[in-house]
Amino acid sequence: MFNEEKVVATCIIKVIKEIAKLKNYTKLLIIDDGSSDKTPKILSKKEKQYKKNLIIMTHKKNKGYGASLKTGISYAIKNGYEFYLTMDSDLTNPPSFIQNFVNVMSNEIDCVKASRYIKGGKTVNVSYFRQLISIIGNYLASLLFNVGIKDCTNGFKMVRLKLLKGISFKENSFSIILEEMYYLKKRHARFMEIPNILYARSNSASHFRYKLKTFYDYFKYVIKATLLD
């Protein structure tokens, strides 16, 4: 989370409701990535309210999406969790979809990715420009990664943590999503996709920005993936 005061309470309530339905031992871990609005204050209140199910970790300064994932992955591995599931806190991905990941995960699967680009998946109210960039980028990434995933850049996913042990992720931005896919392919992970509906933000602006460096940071892992056996 970074400056999500408008949705933080709703996000926590909805996710806690969903994980309460799971038979698996599950906790909600939130990384507050240096928020400067009311997000920390709201998180403090919710942590007391849901102390059995909610863990808050804080970056004093904003470090980026990738840095937050690294913090979460490190915590999960150190505390013996088998899987981690990541989602943005802006509710662009419905928390009700969490159950879908758990339903399909098995001993034969290591990574389940949510997909806008398979039957049953779609985007809602997302600008045509963002859709076009995403479609073209994911087509190329899917072709070159060649692991059966059509929506490579989607950060709504569930991963078997033992495949991430010992990896020193370099990226602090959104490109960590493809860096992770690269390492998963390198370690011969087995992938699966499930349909997902991505909604546009309604209460705040996206923290993602399209820049030349953004495209480079993404596609260097796509190119590296083509060189793997």
pLDDT by residue for the chain (229 residues), tens digit each?
999 999 999 999 999 999 999 999 999 999 999 999 999 999 999 999 999 999 999 999 999 999 999 999 999 999 999 999 999 999 999 999 999 999 999 999 999 999 999 999 999 988 888 899 999 999 999 999 999 999 999 999 999 999 999 999 999 999 999 999 999 999 999 999 999 999 986 665 555 555 667 778 888 999 999 998 6
Name 14's Cβ contacts closer than 8 Å, sequence gap at least 6. 91, 95, 96
| Residue-range domains of the chain with CATH | 8-226 (3.90.550.10)
DSSP H helices in the chain:
8-19, 39-49, 65-78, 98-104, 128-145, 176-186, 212-226
Check if the beta carbon of residue 199 is closer than 8 Å to that of residue 157: no
